[in-house]
A and B are shown apart, each in its own frame.
Chain A
């Protein structure tokens, strides 16, 4: 209960602000309509008319919720109007990119921790890679992967997702693999442990808390990457495409529904990663 109350309070404040903004932003359209019809509307008459416009500047929460519900439950899941269908396409690219990002991030981290040359040569590039705006890079990745003969829209989206998600994993794992202190390394030396034993028995398990912390950032980044990857390609599938089409064809409700669909998806993914983390922590005897 103690956690629910503050959450509900914040939610309540958001709703109040949102409804107020809805009235304020959508009022102009109501007044314009009235002027064109040669009538006048009072404030009390105007307010209801801001709540169910077809193309509102800002749709009120209940309208977004209705559209979201219609998109999720109101359509066959194979329909192109179904948010489940589009969400699934985005989810596929997200998870594939997330997986690629983990492999790349962990692989590079191991190489960097064990090789000074790799640290000197790769680390600066890894940092620079994250300073390039992904919206600039995404179209190039899509064009290049098309030229490279990669079929389908999923792979380039996954590459963009991986591009964003490998970095937090890389940084987290470097820190994690280096977390054992000198004493713990000395202890293994006294056992004559090999490099491989050093890695599997000490460095890797010691890095797990850092790994899971970075996964939470990485999964969100992968989703953003997948959605951005759906924007420039004239893509017809995915939540990103849904948002783009909504904005281009003046269907703000579609846009808002897709936006909230993406937010819900992100929340669910982070919850799943959090559950995995708790499971792993229990397996590794974590203190409460």
Chain B
């Protein structure tokens, strides 16, 4: 836990947030009465089946969707004001690197758009590529890198302009499990070093439990929060922590939340052992 870093005002705060899409088949309630506070330096995962509104919530934070009710503030501002203030970097499921730009050129893209000086751009590109362990790959083109490396480059791109918040929408969802484990480890290290606030959408229970200080379990139709779990795991998390009882207990609680669609209840020990194989 990073309680020492938490300041009084939450970085992201949603109160009675509602978001209804008007579609051809009638209104779809993507988010219903969502209440959530995310403090500085937290690593918050959103987990739930598809259609539960986890990505929609992340997009609302990024001002890519507009809520139809309630309030949402980012750094105390409206989301679009926060965006103009460069409050966040966004990482998508696909790396989405421009094939016509080198890795360094891709990381440079937001800096060019935001008008950083050339010298500053160079320095920042070098720094963030080192941060994601891609130093020396700046002159390569995206197709010369593996999928995992491409996704690391897209994280570097989101870090380049020093936003305090990192919004990640299933960033490792398209990668195989071995690469995903490694990137999860690196992401935790990165979070420890940079003290960012991270909101992370995933559909993997072990990933959510391994990474997060706070896990938000969501449920679909209408998209809503069914459980918020504060993780008791220590900040320093080797991959082996996934075999610990604490980890398994949290994973179980997440699973219960997902299955029931309402707040987690008491569980039996034998059940935990049966589900262990599934979650690790």
A284 and B101 CA atoms in complex are apart in Å by 7
Give complex CA distance A186, B90 in Å: 9
Task: Confirm or deny: B78 has a beta carbon within 8 angstroms of a beta carbon on chain A.
Answer: no
- Residue in chain B with minimal CB distance to A189: B64
Do residues B90 and A187 form an inter-chain contact, with CB atoms below 8 A? yes
User: Across the interface, do B113 and A193 meet the contact criterion of CB distance under 8 Å?
Assistant: yes
B112 within 8 A of A: yes
Specify which of B63, B83, B94, B98 is in contact with A183 (CB 8 Å cutoff): B94
**Number of interchain pairs (Cβ within 8 Å):** 54
Q: By the criterion CB–CB under 8 Å, are A190 and B90 in contact?
A: yes
User: What residues of chain B lie closer than 8 Å to A201, measured between beta carbons?
Assistant: 109, 112-113
Is there an interface contact between A285 and B114, defined as CB atoms closer than 8 Å?
Answer: no
Contact with A along B42-73 (1 / 0, CB 8 A): 00000000000000000100111000000000
Which chain A positions have C-beta within 8 A of B267? none
* Shortest beta-carbon distance from A72 to chain B in Å: 41
Contact B62 A184 (CB under 8 A): no
Q: For chain B residues 109-160, which have a beta carbon within 8 Å of chain A?
A: 109-110, 112-114, 141, 143
Complex-state Cα separation, A184 to B141, whole angstroms: 17
Identify B141's interface contact among A183, A190, A193, A285, CB under 8 A.
Answer: A285
* B63 surroundings in chain A (CB, below 8 A): 189
Query: Judging by beta carbons under 8 Å apart, are A197 and B100 in contact?
Result: no
The count of residues in chain B whose C-beta lies closer than 8 Å to any C-beta of chain A is 26
Are the CB atoms of B100 and A190 closer together than 8 Å? no
**Cα distance A202–B102 when bound, in Å?**
14
The answer, among A183, A191, A284, A287, for a CB contact under 8 Å with B113, is A191
Report A-chain residues with C-beta under 8 Å of the C-beta of B24: none
Whether A188 contacts B113 in the complex (CB less than 8 A), given A183-B94, A285-B141, A287-B143, comes out as yes
Q: Which of B86, B90, B98, B99 contacts A287 (CB 8 A)?
A: B99
User: In the complex, what residues of A have CB within 8 A of residue B99's CB?
Assistant: 284-287
Asked whether any CB of chain A lies closer than 8 Å to the CB of B210, the reply is no
B88 within 8 Å of A (CB atoms): yes
User: A205 an interface residue at 8 Å Cβ cutoff?
Assistant: yes
User: In terms of DSSP, what is the predominant structure of the interface of chain A?
Assistant: helix
- Given that A190-B83, A287-B141, A287-B143 are known contacts, is A205 also in contact with B100, CB under 8 Å in the complex? yes
Among A188, A191, A192, residue most surrounded by chain B Cβ atoms (within 10 Å): A191
Which residue in chain B gives the minimum CB-CB distance to A284?
B100
Tell me the bound Cα distance from A183 to B90 in angstroms: 11
- Taking CB atoms, residues of chain A closer than 8 Å to B59 are 186
The answer to whether B98 and A205 touch across the interface, beta carbons within 8 angstroms, is yes
Q: Are A191 and B143 in contact (CB under 8 A)?
A: no
Q: How far is the CA of A286 from the CA of B143 in the complex (A)?
A: 8
Contact (Cβ within 8 A) B88 A190: yes
How far is the CB of B243 from the nearest CB of chain A, in Å?
Answer: 36
Say if the beta carbon of B96 comes within 8 Å of chain A.
Answer: yes
Which residues from A are CB-within-8-Å of B92?
183, 186-187
Chain B contacts of A197 at CB under 8 A?
Answer: 113
Tell yes or no: B269 within 8 A of A by CB.
Answer: no
Can you list, as one digit per residue, whether each of A190-224 has a CB less than 8 Å from chain B (1) or not (0)? 11110001000110011010000000000000000
Give the CA-CA distance A191 to B64 in the complex, in Å.
11
B265 to chain A: which residues have CB within 8 Å?
none
B233 to chain A, nearest CB (A): 30
In the complex, are the beta carbons of A285 and B100 less than 8 A apart? yes
Contact (Cβ within 8 A) B90 A192: no
Chain B residues in 8 Å Cβ range of A202 = 98
CA A284 – CA B84 in complex, angstroms?
30
Residue B114 contacts which of A183, A184, A186, A191 (CB distance < 8 angstroms)?
A191
Closest residue of B by beta carbon distance from A283: B100
Q: Are B96 and A190 in contact (CB under 8 A)?
A: no
Residues of A with C-beta under 8 A to B110: 191
* Contact status B101-A285, CB under 8 Å: yes
Could you give, for residues 267-288 of chain A, a 1 whenever the CB lies within 8 Å of some chain B CB and a 0 otherwise?
0000000000000000011110
Contacts known (A191-B110, A287-B143); A184 close to B101, Cβ less than 8 A? no
**B98 near A190: Cβ-Cβ < 8 Å:** no
**Chain B residue at minimal CB-CB distance from A187:** B96
The closest CB in chain B to the CB of A188 belongs to B113
Q: How far does the alpha carbon of A187 sit from the alpha carbon of B161 in the complex, in Å? A: 14
Which of A187, A192, A208, A287 is in CB contact (< 8 Å) with B84? A192
A205 to B98, CA, bound (A): 9
Structural contact, A285 and B113, CB atoms closer than 8 A: no
Closest A residue by C-beta to B158: A190
A205 to B109, CA, bound (A): 13
Which residues does A use to contact B, with CB under 8 Å?
A: 183-184, 186-193, 197, 201-202, 205-206, 208, 284-287
> Can you name 27 A-B residue pairings with CB atoms under 8 Å?
A183-B92, A183-B94, A184-B96, A186-B64, A186-B90, A186-B92, A187-B90, A187-B96, A188-B113, A190-B88, A190-B90, A191-B109, A192-B86, A192-B113, A197-B113, A201-B109, A201-B113, A206-B100, A208-B100, A285-B99, A285-B141, A285-B143, A286-B99, A286-B100, A287-B99, A287-B141, A287-B143
